[in-house]
Amino acid sequence: MTESSSEVDVVIVGAGFAGMYELVRMRRAGFSAIVLETADDVGGTWYWNRYPGARCDILSVDYSYSWDPDLQQEWTWSERYAAQPEILRYAQFVADKHDLRRDVRFNTRVTSAEWNDDTHRWVIHTDTGDDLTCRHYIMATGCLSMPKVPDIEGTDRFGGEVYFTSTWPHDGVDFTGKRVAVIGTGSSAVQSIPLIAAEADQLTVFQRTPNFSIPARNGPISDERLAPFLADPDAYRDEARRSAAGVPRETPLEGALMVSDEERTARYEAMWEAGELLGITGTFNDTLANAESNDTLRDFIHGKIRSIVKDPEVAEALCPTNHYVGTKRACLDTNYYETYNLPHVRLVDLRKDPISTITETGVDTESESFEFDAIVFATGFDAMTGAIVGVDITGRDGLTLKEKWAEGPVTYLGLMTAGFPNLFMITGPGSPSVLSNMMVSIEQHVDWIADALVHLRENDLDTIEPTELAETRWVQHSNEFADLTLMPTANSWYMGVNVPGKPQVFLPYPGGVGRYRVTCDEVVERDYLGFALDGPSGRIVNDGIIRELAPDVQVMLETMAEMGLPPIETMGVDGAREFMTASGAMMPPGPDVGEIVDGTLPGADGTPLEYRLFRPPTDGPHPIAVYFHGGGWVLGSATSDDPLCRYLCVHSNSIIVSVNYRHAPEARFPAAADDGLAAATWIADHGEELGGIPGQVAVAGWSAGANVAAVTAQQAKLAGGPAISGQVLLCPVTDGTTERPSHTENADGYGLTMAVMNWFWDHYCDRDDRADPKASPLLGDLTGLPPALVITCQFDPLRDEGDAYAAALADAGVSVQHLQCPGQTHTAVPAVGAMITSEYARAAMADALRSYLRTAANA
C-beta of 208 vs 455, nearer to ligand NA7 = 208
**Residues 654-664, buried b or exposed e (16+ Cβ, 10 A)?**
bbbbbbbbbbb
Rounded Cα distance, 666 and 753, in Å: 23
Nearer CB in complex with ligand NA7: 488/544: 488
Amino acid residing at 38? T
Supply the minimum distance, in Å, between the C-beta of residue 179 and ligand NA7. Answer: 19
Q: ω before 591 within 30° of 0 (cis)?
A: no
Q: How far is the CB of 46 from ligand NA7 (least distance, A)?
A: 11
Q: Is 64 exposed, middle or buried (0-12, 13-18, 19+ CB in 10 A)?
A: buried
Q: Which residues pair with 204 in a beta bridge?
A: 181, 346
Question: In whole angstroms, how close is the CB of 303 to ligand NA7 at the nearest point?
Answer: 22
Q: How far apart are CA 826 and CA 670, in angstroms?
A: 24
The DSSP bridge pattern shows strands 788-795 and 816-825 to be: parallel
Nearer to ligand NA7, 481 or 494 (CB): 494
Tell me how far, at minimum, the Cβ of 495 lies from ligand NA7, in Å. Answer: 11
181: left (phi over 0), alpha (psi -120 to 50) or beta: beta
> 127 or 151: whose CB is closer to ligand NA7?
151
For the CB of residue 492, give the shortest distance to ligand NA7 in the complex, in Å. Answer: 7
For 231-241, letters b (16+ CB in 10 Å) and e give: eeeeebbebbb
Minimum distance between the CB of residue 152 and ligand NA7, rounded to whole angstroms?
Answer: 5
Q: In whole angstroms, how close is the CB of 305 to ligand NA7 at the nearest point?
A: 16
Minimum CB distance to ligand NA7 smaller for 81 or for 531: 81
For residues 147 and 466, which CB has a smaller minimum distance to ligand NA7 in the complex? 147
Residue 339: name the closest of 207, 209, 203 by CA.
203
Q: What gap in Å lies between CA 629 and CA 710, rounded to an integer?
A: 13
Minimum Å distance from CB 52 to ligand NA7? 13
Nearer to ligand NA7, 188 or 681 (CB): 188
Total Cβ atoms within 10 A of residue 208: 17
Q: Least separation, in Å, of the C-beta of 209 and ligand NA7?
A: 3
Residue 117 or 151 having the CB closest to ligand NA7: 151
Give Dmax over CA atoms of the chain in angstroms: 96
Q: At what angle do helices 233-242 and 223-231 cross, to 10 degrees?
A: 100
Length of the chain, please? 859
Under the rule (CB under 6 A), what is the footprint of ligand NA7?
144, 151-152, 165, 183-189, 206, 208-209, 329, 350, 378-381, 493, 498
288 vs 756 by CB, closer to ligand NA7: 288
* Cβ 788 vs Cβ 816: under 8 Å: yes
* Number of C-beta neighbours around residue 556 at 10 A: 19
At its nearest, how many Å lie between ligand NA7 and the CB of residue 189? 6
Element holding 608 (H helix, E strand): strand 608-615
Q: Which of 786, 763, 783 is nearest to 773 (CA)?
A: 783
Strand, coil or helix: 807: helix
Q: For ligand NA7, which residue has the nearest CB?
A: 186
Q: For ligand NA7, which is the closer residue by CB, 31 or 494?
A: 494
